Each structure stands twice: as structure tokens, then as C-alpha cells.
Amino acid sequence: MSQISKMNQRIVKSEAMTREIKQSKELFRILFYRSPIGTYIIQNGHFRLVNRQLAYILGYEEDELVGKPALSFVLAEDRDTVRENAVRMLKGGCSLGYEFRIVNKQAKVKWVMETVVPIYYRRKRATLGSLIDITERKQMEERLKQITAEMQHSNTELEQFAYVISHDLQEPLRMVSSYTQLLAKRYSNKLDSDADEFISYAVNGAKRMQTLLHDLLEYSRVGTRGKPFIPVNCEHVVEQAMANLKIAIEECNASVSYDVLPTVMGDEGQLVRLFQNLIGNALKFRRDEAPLVNIVAKRRNNVVTFSIKDNGIGIDPQHRQSIFEIFRRLHTREEYPGTGMGLAICKKIVERHGGHISVQSQPGQGSTFYFSVDTAGGESE
Ligand code: ADP
């Protein structure tokens, strides 16, 4: 090959290399400077290279940042932990998603999330970092925390209120009840028939109010007077509930069966009340035939789900949620006695045990109530 053609070849090669270098520079410019993520290189604690987005987050021009100590933009309270994190990162690799606060040029504090990796830049150790502004997300988290705290506060206040009301009303009501009963005893058949009727209304009204208050008090006590959680054997719990319902079970000739039931962390008294309410309802809302109640427990990871199945009158699916509300009933007192608080108390007990309660049923085809208990035993707030 002649000297000239060799030179020509070299020129073509070097032109291709120049083109490639230009393209790489172009690509770098796009990737680094136009990136929507704040990107930078820090060396000896000072910014060496910064992109437009970082400058935007900090509120400066890019060239105002180069050469400045990176820590000077970090909020004073967060500086020590950011410094420690940088040292840890240089020893052990990268640091992902580290959150801290910076102060921008307008003295506004912003939350940012940083990811950094150690690199070599111009043959010296350096840090390549990327930063995103998470102020909005943090503000929303804060607001959510505030709302949750406010809700917990007003819930506690409401519970206290319900407790005080139902507790303090009991005493005057006991007076009304005993004196109306006394009236009935002493004056029945001595006044006219209207008077007898009025007195009997007053006696019944006072009795009903006492039952309502008693149930409301029990409801408010689930949250305020609960016992600390201990390991509770659920077979013993069901046996106690059945012992409390002995007369009702015998009266309607019911048969209540249960599988092997586990031990869970909980408040024993409340778990007895829970089973008692559910079994009691299965007996109360029976059809003409003798009630059959079957209790089963299934464990999945940390959660045990109990089911209480009956062969009673069933429930229209449209009431599946509402029956758990306080004072909600689907029948008149003449059809079935009750206050409509039983299932609301069940729901509150289940929620305190970190679980959920639900029902599956069709009218005339029995009902199955399900409730879960978190066996890890964390009491819900
Ligand atoms: P109460 O028993 O005092 O009416 P609950 O809160 O225990 O109050 O129940 C609410 C309503 O849910 C009941 O009035 C009844 O209509 C329905 N219900 C509850 N348990 C059953 C059941 N096992 N079978 C059919 N209906 C039921």
C-alpha cells in the first residue's frame, strides 16, 4: 500500500473517532445535564460537577454550586447523619434512598432523597450522587400522621364520652326504674285502666333504656377497659361461652360443635364475649328446626380465621355491612329481643385483636360469620 493511501486511511479512522467522541459527549450532555434527577459529582466534600436539576432543587445557577462544600446545603440538624452516611458509603459501597433536608437559596427547607455511589473521577476518589425532591410526599405523610393522630384522639374522646354518659346515666335511671316498678306494684288495679297501661309503658321503657345503656357501656369498655393480651386457648374460650349460654342451648335443643381450636394472643374476657354473642345470635335467629352451630379455625401465616356457621334464618346480603353498626337491627323487638349492639361489640373486639369480621349468608339458608385474629398479638390502636 502506498504512503498516501495509508495516510488517507488514518485520516478516515481519526475522523470516525472524532465523530464517536462527539457523539459520546453529546450523549453524556443529554444524560447528565438534561436528566430530570438532580445529579452531581462530589470530590473532597465539594461539588465538582452538577446538573441543571440539582441547581433547580437547590435554587442556584449551576456555576454557583461548583466548588461549594456539599454539606453547606444540608439543614444543620441533618448534617451529622449525612456526613456519617457518606463515610459509611465510601467504606461499604452505595447508599440507596437516603432521606434528609436541604436549605435552598431562598432559605426554604426541602426534603430530598439521595442515592450515592463511590467512583473515580479524574483518577481521584469521588462520589456520584442523584437527588430527588420529596417535599410534597413528606408533607402528605406528615398530614396523614396528623390526621391519624387527630382521629385517634377524637375516637378516644368519643369512647370516654360514651363511657361517662352510659355510666353516669345508669344511676338516675335505676331510680326511675325502681320507682315506676313500685308504682306498678302498689297501684295496679287501684287506678283506672289507662293508668295501669301508662305505668306499664313507663316500667318497660325504663327497663329497655337500662339494657341499651348497659350494652353501650360494654361497647365503650372494649377500647377503654380492655385487659393486656396473653396466650388464650380458644377451646376454653368457646367452652366458657357455651357455659354462659347453657340455658339457651338447652331450651332450643341446639347442638354446638367445634374443631381443634388454637391458642391466640388476646383478651380472654373479650374473646368469650365475642363467641358468646355470635353463638347466642345463632340460637336466637333460628328457624323452626333445632339450631346446629359449627365452629372452625383456619391458620394462615400469623392470622387465624374463625368461622361460626349456623342453620338459622339467614341474612339478606344487602345488610352484610350494616348489621355491624351500633343499634342496627333487622327485626322488631317483638320478633326477636335485643338492642342491636351485639355485633357492634363483636366488631370492636375483633378490631382490637387486629382482625376483621364479616358474614356470608342468604335468607333462609343459615349464616356463617368469619372473624380473624392476628396471632402475633399486636393490639390495634
Ligand atoms: P341483636 O341481636 O340485639 O339484634 P346484633 O348486633 O347481635 O343485635 O345483630 C344485629 C342484627 O343482625 C340482628 O338484629 C339480626 O337481624 C342480624 N343477625 C345477627 N346474627 C344473625 C344470625 N346468626 N342469623 C341471622 N341474623 C343475624
Domain that holds residue 151: 137-225
How remote is the CA of residue 322 from the centroid of ligand 1, in Å? 10
127 and 146, same structural domain? no
Distance 141 CA to ligand 1 centre (A): 39
pLDDT given for residue 167 in this prediction: 84
The cell for 116 is 450515592
The per-residue pLDDT for 11 is: 81
Q: Which residues lie across from 266 on neighbouring strands? A: 230
The residue among 210, 207, 211, 222 whose CA lies nearest residue 163 is 222
Is 172 among the domain residues?
yes
Among 68, 133, 127, smallest CA distance to 100 is for 133
Residue with cell 369498655: 221
pLDDT score for 232: 94
- Within a domain: 22: no
| Structure confidence at residue 377 (pLDDT) | 60
- Same domain as 365, residue 265: yes
Pair (158, 129) in one structural domain: no
What is the biggest distance separating any 2 CA atoms in the chain, rounded to whole angstroms?
Answer: 142
Number of domains in the chain: 3
Among the candidates 188, 208, 225, a domain finishes at: 225
Distance 284 CA to ligand 1 centre (A): 8
> In the prediction, which pLDDT does 113 show?
95
Are residues 185 and 289 both part of a single domain? Answer: no
Q: Which helix (H) or strand (E) holds 139?
A: helix 135-187
Atom of ligand 1 nearest to the CA of 343: 6
Q: Check pocket membership of 282 for ligand 1, CB cut-off 6 A.
A: yes
Please report the pLDDT score of residue 323 as a whole number: 95
Sheet strands (E) in 92-175: 95-103, 109-121, 124-133
User: Quick check: is 27 in a domain?
Assistant: no
pLDDT value at position 375?
78
- Rg of the Cα atoms in the chain: 36
Same domain, 189 and 299: no
Q: Whole-prediction pTM value?
A: 0.68
Residue at 18 is within a domain: no
Whether residue 233 sits in one domain with residue 127: no
Q: Looking at the domain assignment, is residue 29 inside a domain?
A: no
Q: Does any ligand 1 atom lie closer than 6 A to the CB of residue 280?
A: no
Domain termination residue (choose one: 225, 240, 257): 225
Mean pLDDT by 10 residues, the chain (381 residues): 79 86 88 90 94 95 95 96 84 81 95 92 91 95 92 82 83 90 88 87 90 88 86 96 96 94 94 97 95 95 94 95 91 87 95 95 96 76 49
Nearest atom, ligand 1, residue 345 CA: 6
Residue with cell 385517634: 152
The answer to the question of residue 17 being in a domain is: no
Final residue of a structural domain among 133, 148, 166? 133
Do 233 and 380 share a domain, yes or no? Answer: yes
From 279, 315, 333, 336, mutation site for ligand 1 pocket: most ligand atoms within 8 A of C-beta: 315
Non-local CB neighbours of 39 within 8 Å, separated by 6+ positions? 32, 50, 51, 53, 54, 128, 129, 130, 131
